[in-house]
C-alpha cells in the first residue's frame, strides 16, 4: 500500500500512528478521532479497503485512479471529492509543471491521493499539527490547509512568468529573432496555468455559499475566503500576462514589418541611385561614341571618299564630331541624365 502518512487526531493533536488501515479504522471508532490518510499514486486494489470503509462514491474513486482531471468539486451525500492542480515553475525550461491531488473528505476522515510530487502535503500536515486549534475543527480544516498550500505554490509560478515576460520586452527591441518562438511558448504556459487556477474560483465560492451543508465552521470559512481572494488576484495577473504576450506578439510582427519596409526603402533608394549612375554612364558613352563613329568612318582611307581630297574635309569632320557631341550633351542634360 502506497501510504505516505497515516495518523489519528483527537482534539487537534496527533494521538496515534496506526501501522495498518485496519488499525486506523478501529482507532477512529474507539477514540472518536479524525483519520488523515495520505496516498501516493495508489492502484485500484490499494483503494478498495478505504472505499469500503468510508463508502466513497465509485465515480470519485474512478477519477482519483485515472487522474488527468481538471479542478472540480463534487458532493456525494455526506462526503466531498475535490481535485486540485498544484503547479511549479521550472525556470531553466520556462515551463509550468502541473501536479494533481485528489481529496476525499467525510465525517471524521480525510484521504489525499497525490499523482505528483507537488504539493508538499507533509509541509501542510506539519503546519496544521503546529496549530491544534485549527486542526481540531475537523476534516474541512485540513482541506483548507491543502487548498492554502496549493494557492501559495502558485506565487512563485506567477513570479517566474512575470520575470520571463520582462525579458521578452527587452528581446523585442533588441531584434532577437528567437523572441516570437519564446512568446508563443510562454503564451501556451500561461493558458495552461489559467486552466489550472481558474476553476478554483467557483469551487471556493461554492464552499463559502454552502458552508453549512459542507460542515464548514466560521473560522475555516474565513480561511477559504482568504484563499478565494488570493486566487482571484492570481487569475487576474495571469489574464494580464496573456494580454501582454498577445500584444508583444503583435508588436513583434509590427517591428518585423517595419524593418522589412526600411530594408525595401533602402533597396529602392539604392536602385534609384544606381539608375542615376547608369544614366550618366550611358549619356557620356553616347556622347563619346558619336565622334568615335565619325573618326572611324573617315579613318578608313578609301580612295573614293570625296572629303579626303577636299581642303575643308578635316575641319568638317572635327565640326561634325563637336556638333554631334554637343547636341547629345544638350539633350541628355535637359532630361536630367547628366
What is d(CA 332, CA 289) in angstroms, rounded to the nearest whole number?
A: 14
H/E segment holding residue 86 = none
223 in the same domain as 98:
yes
Tell me if 223 is assigned to some domain. Answer: yes
Long-range contacts of 154-157, Cβ-Cβ distance < 8 Å, separation of 24 or more? 154/87, 154/197, 154/230, 154/231, 154/234, 155/234, 156/88, 156/89, 157/87, 157/88, 157/89, 157/96, 157/193
Q: What is the mean pLDDT of each run of 10 residues along the chain (338 residues)?
A: 84 87 84 88 79 82 78 89 92 85 92 85 91 92 94 93 87 79 88 93 93 89 94 94 87 74 72 70 68 67 64 70 75 71
253 in the same domain as 277:
no
Are the beta carbons of 52 and 22 closer than 8 angstroms?
no
Tell me if 17 is assigned to some domain. Answer: yes
Beta-carbon count within 10 A of 131 CB = 13
Domain region containing 23: 3-257
β-pairing verdict for 109-114 and 34-40: parallel
Tell me if 242 is assigned to some domain. Answer: yes
Task: Identify the pLDDT of residue 8.
Answer: 92
Task: Identify the pLDDT of residue 120.
Answer: 84
Q: How many domains does the chain have?
A: 2
208 in the same domain as 140:
yes
Task: Identify the pLDDT of residue 44.
Answer: 76
Tell me if 188 is assigned to some domain. Answer: yes
305 in the same domain as 243:
no
Tell me if 247 is assigned to some domain. Answer: yes
Are the beta carbons of 66 and 79 closer than 8 angstroms?
no
Beta-carbon count within 10 A of 143 CB = 24
Beta-carbon count within 10 A of 148 CB = 19
39 in the same domain as 70:
yes
Buried b (16+ CB within 10 A) or exposed e, 13-36: ebebebeebeebbebbeebebbbb
279 in the same domain as 210:
no
276 in the same domain as 227:
no
Tell me if 266 is assigned to some domain. Answer: no
Task: Identify the pLDDT of residue 305.
Answer: 66
149 in the same domain as 25:
yes
For residue 27, the domain's CATH number is: 3.30.460.20
103 in the same domain as 70:
yes
Tell me if 239 is assigned to some domain. Answer: yes
Tell me if 267 is assigned to some domain. Answer: no
Task: Identify the pLDDT of residue 286.
Answer: 66
Task: Identify the pLDDT of residue 300.
Answer: 64
What is d(CA 4, CA 11) in angstroms, rounded to the nearest whole number?
A: 23
Q: What residues contact residue 183 under an 8 Å CB cut-off, 6+ apart?
A: 168, 245, 248, 249, 252
H/E segment holding residue 9 = strand 3-10
Amino acid at each position: 500500500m502506497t501510504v505516505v502518512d497515516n495518523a489519528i487526531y483527537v482534539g487537534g493533536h496527533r494521538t496515534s500512528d496506526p501501522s495498518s488501515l485496519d488499525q486506523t479504522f478501529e482507532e477512529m471508532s474507539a477514540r472518536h478521532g479524525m483519520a488523515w490518510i495520505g496516498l501516493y499514486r495508489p492502484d485500484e486494489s490499494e483503494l478498495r479497503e478505504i472505499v469500503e470503509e468510508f463508502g466513497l462514491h465509485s465515480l470519485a474513486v474512478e477519477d482519483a485512479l485515472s487522474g488527468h482531471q481538471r479542478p472540480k468539486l463534487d458532493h456525494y451525500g455526506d462526503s466531498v471529492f475535490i481535485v486540485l492542480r498544484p503547479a511549479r515553475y521550472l525556470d531553466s525550461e520556462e515551463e509550468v509543471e502541473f501536479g494533481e491531488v485528489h481529496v476525499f473528505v467525510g465525517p471524521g476522515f480525510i484521504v489525499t491521493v497525490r499523482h505528483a510530487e507537488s504539493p508538499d502535503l507533509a509541509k501542510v500536515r506539519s503546519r496544521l499539527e503546529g496549530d491544534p486549534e485549527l486542526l481540531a475543527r475537523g476534516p474541512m480544516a485540513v482541506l483548507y490547509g491543502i487548498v492554502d498550500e496549493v494557492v501559495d505554490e502558485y506565487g512563485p509560478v506567477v513570479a517566474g512568468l512575470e520575470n520571463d515576460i520582462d525579458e521578452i520586452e527587452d528581446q523585442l527591441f533588441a531584434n532577437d529573432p528567437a523572441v516570437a518562438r519564446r512568446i508563443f511558448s510562454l503564451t501556451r504556459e500561461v493558458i495552461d496555468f489559467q486552466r489550472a487556477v481558474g476553476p478554483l474560483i467557483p469551487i471556493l465560492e461554492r464552499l463559502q455559499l454552502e458552508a453549512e451543508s459542507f460542515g464548514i465552521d466560521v473560522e475555516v470559512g474565513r480561511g477559504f475566503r482568504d484563499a478565494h481572494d488570493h486566487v482571484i488576484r492570481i487569475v487576474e495577473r495571469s489574464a494580464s500576462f496573456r494580454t501582454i504576450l498577445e500584444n508583444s506578439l503583435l508588436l513583434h510582427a509590427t517591428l518585423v514589418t517595419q524593418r522589412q519596409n526600411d530594408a525595401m526603402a533602402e533597396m529602392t533608394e539604392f536602385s534609384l541611385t544606381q539608375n542615376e549612375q547608369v544614366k550618366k554612364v550611358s549619356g557620356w558613352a553616347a556622347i563619346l561614341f558619336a565622334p568615335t563613329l565619325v573618326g572611324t568612318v573617315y579613318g578608313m582611307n578609301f580612295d573614293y571618299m570625296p572629303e579626303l581630297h577636299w581642303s575643308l574635309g578635316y575641319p568638317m569632320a572635327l565640326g561634325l564630331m563637336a556638333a554631334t557631341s554637343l547636341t547629345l550633351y544638350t539633350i541628355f542634360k535637359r532630361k536630367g541624365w547628366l
